[in-house]
Amino acid sequence: MRWSKFFIPTLREDPSEAEVISHKLLLRAGMIRKLASGIYNFLPLGFRALKKIENIVRQEMDSAGALEILMPLVQPAELWQETGRWNDYGKELLRFKDRKDHDFCLGPTHEEVVTDIVRRDVKSYKDLPLILYQIAVKFRDEIRPRFGIMRAREFIMKDAYSFDADWDGLDKSYQLMYETYQKIFSNCGLKFKAVEAHTGAIGGDVSHEFMVLAETGEDVLAFCEKCGYASNIELTPAVSGEKYSFESEKPLEKVYTPGVRTAQEVAEFLGLPVSKITKTLIYILNEEEAVAVCVRGDHEVNEVKLEKLFSGKSFRMANEEEVRKIVGASPGFIGPKNLKIKVIADKALEGYPNFVIGANEDDYHYINANLGSTFKPDLVADIRKATEGDLCPKCGEPLQFTRGIEVGHIFKLGTKYSESMKATFLDKDGKMKPFIMGCYGIGVSRVLAATIEQNHDENGIIFPWQIAPFQIAVLYLKEDFKENAEKVYKRLSQRWDVILDDRAERPGVKFKDLDLIGIPVQVIFGKNYEKNRKIEVKIRKTGERKYVSPEELENFINRFENEKD
Ligand code: ATP
Ligand code: MG
């Protein structure tokens, strides 16, 4: 490809609308443009990278024996009513009517549609297992679309669905997809981790997320270097490594704490560590019942654990006015003693001596509170996020933490969809049975953003070789070298994706642009070519420069391709 014939509208400045680095760089490199909130155009360079990711995904899915199909984005309400998700799925499901007043939605995921395909035409155990997949547009009317294509409303997903005759079959399909995902993300040149995960709105019992490791990730992962345990922190059981010292209970005492509200402020005011303060939060369940939740000041409530305790009821934090109405005091002064509502205390408060709680009266706290003697919670449970110092729930070694971006998610669904949609097959024993299902998603467009979050520097993107829109750029700094540069460009193009920077621009502009768009190898006909016919080869990732003769060039790049990791 010749740059002069291509379309890469690079930007010099950081666009003000972008908060995260991948969004900034995708815009600056001329790869995407925004059409509306959470809705993006992919320009030629961005589209090339996206296609590379798609092709890696397609190749591994195909070699796992999955069959590619294409399902419609627009889906009739009737299918969603069969599973109950027409009502249960939140506002992310964009519902609308056609001109005949029939209800439709834009597919945020395709369990209903694929189950419908299979129930119509797959009749016997002999046709199983079956894995169907597509790479297509999804629409989710996300409440806060942000970070560009990382959390978009319209995005590209690879979604796959497995159908098995029995649970052993599902285990095998799941394992096959797990391994396929490992290959896909390695082939994309990414550093990633598979972690145990929460199943959310999709449902099912077992699931794993695939996380691209990046400081800027929205998710926190806990993992154990010793035994290999890894989970999304939403799910990690909190196993404290702290031994509470024996300290006898001191008498409870009410203290005046004017205007000090947060755990940090109370700790400073009383001259105590923040771990000795507790936070009590009020939640509203199903818009009717209030519940108090109490954790240590240095711990954080884990709402996924609460969701499990509240067994599917909707819940939200009470607002200030509601807190005042329920407790009679302002948030910041709430505590578990003498509350008229249900109290859930975190396990870490058990045996924890002499801590501070709100007095349920403005400007007052109690010191020397103890679980049991000061208040008796209705329930003591693990409701906090695991944190630094906690132990691996499997082997007891200290846990490590890191941040990640979820790029893939696999689920064992079981019969959730096949039962509600009456999708059955005739089994060996002559009985009709529901299919045992799994589902497997990859956020293809998010992979592109995550790649950049993981691979960039102050000058721009550093594409991994495998998904670089162009792997090699050839440029010449003098018109005299043009002919030879063209020859090399043509020769390299027979094996690799090469762009020839034939623009009439200053060298400085070309170098800046090439660094920005992240091409892994730059082949430069410059000063050294003039001096001694040596071509300069710059490696984007390391900044290394090597000087090779035109005859050596191909071998050099060959070696780079093989040794790049
Ligand atoms: P998240 O927790 O990030 O909202 P999710 O759990 O809703 O994701 P899944 O339903 O598991 O996502 O979808 C499969 C994959 O699709 C995710 O792993 C992610 O990579 C991608 N994905 C989900 N939502 C978006 C989005 N709004 N924009 C881009 N990619 C997305
Ligand atoms: Mg998910």
Is 210 found in the same domain as 112?
A: yes
CB 151 near ligand 1, within 6 Å:
yes
CB 416 near ligand 1, within 6 Å:
no
Phi-psi region of 64 (alpha: psi -120 to 50; beta: other; left: phi over 0): alpha
Is 145 found in the same domain as 206?
A: yes
CATH number, domain containing residue 554 = 3.40.50.800
pLDDT at position 514: 97
In a domain, 461, yes or no: no
How does pLDDT run across 270-323, given as a tens digit for each residue? 999 999 999 999 999 999 999 999 999 999 999 999 999 998 788 999 999 999
pTM value surpassing 0.85: yes
Say whether pLDDT at 564 is over 80: no
Is 488 found in the same domain as 447?
A: no
Domain that holds residue 153: 6-10+14-237+401-453
How does pLDDT run across 16-25, given as a tens digit for each residue? 999 999 999 9
Q: Given ligand 1 and candidates 34, 157, 304, which is best to mutate, with the most ligand atoms within 8 Å of its CB? A: 157
pLDDT at position 123: 96
Ligand with minimal distance to 154 CA? 1
In a domain, 534, yes or no: yes
What is the distance in A from the centroid of ligand 2 to the CA of 138? Answer: 14
How does pLDDT run across 409-445, given as a tens digit for each residue? 999 999 999 999 999 999 999 999 999 999 999 999 9
Is 166 found in the same domain as 128?
A: yes
What is the distance in A from the centroid of ligand 2 to the CA of 409? Answer: 5
How does pLDDT run across 313-366, given as a tens digit for each residue? 889 999 999 999 999 999 999 999 999 999 999 999 999 999 999 999 999 999
pLDDT at position 565: 62
Q: What average pLDDT does this structure show over 449-477?
A: 97
Average pLDDT of every residue of the chain: 96
In a domain, 392, yes or no: no
Structure token pair of residue 234: 């939403």
Q: What average pLDDT does this structure show over 511-534?
A: 96
Q: What percent of the chain has pLDDT over 90?
A: 95
Instruction: Give the whole-angstrom CA distance, residue 383 versus residue 346.
Output: 6
Contacts of 444 (CB under 8 A, 6+ apart): 50, 53, 54, 57, 135, 155, 156, 157, 158
Is 542 found in the same domain as 445?
A: no
Say whether pLDDT at 201 is over 70: no
Is 306 found in the same domain as 202?
A: no
In a domain, 247, yes or no: no
Say whether pLDDT at 487 is over 90: yes
Overall domain count for the chain:
3
CATH number, domain containing residue 406 = 3.30.930.10
Is 185 found in the same domain as 47?
A: yes
pLDDT at position 64: 98
pLDDT at position 431: 98
Is 304 found in the same domain as 197?
A: no
What is the distance in A from the centroid of ligand 2 to the CA of 209? Answer: 7
pLDDT at position 459: 97
pLDDT band, very low/low/confident/very high, at 137 (cuts 50, 70, 90): very high
Q: What percent of the chain has pLDDT over 70?
A: 99
pLDDT at position 203: 64
For the CA of 153, the nearest atom of ligand 1: 27
CA distances from 536 to 23, 440, 463, 549 (A): 31, 45, 20, 9
In a domain, 245, yes or no: no
Name the 3-class secondary structure at 111: helix
CB 108 near ligand 1, within 6 Å:
no
Is 79 found in the same domain as 39?
A: yes
The last residue of a domain, from among 381, 412, 443: 381
In a domain, 448, yes or no: yes
Say whether pLDDT at 205 is over 80: no
How does pLDDT run across 110-126, given as a tens digit for each residue? 999 999 999 999 999 99
In a domain, 424, yes or no: yes
Is 188 found in the same domain as 121?
A: yes
CA-atom Rg of the chain in angstroms? 29
Q: What average pLDDT does this structure show over 27-43?
A: 98
Is 54 found in the same domain as 136?
A: yes
SS (H, E, C) 27-43: HHCCCEEEEECCEEEEC
Is 361 found in the same domain as 259?
A: yes
How does pLDDT run across 230-244, given as a tens digit for each residue? 999 999 999 998 888
In a domain, 356, yes or no: yes
Contacts of 319 (CB under 8 A, 6+ apart): none
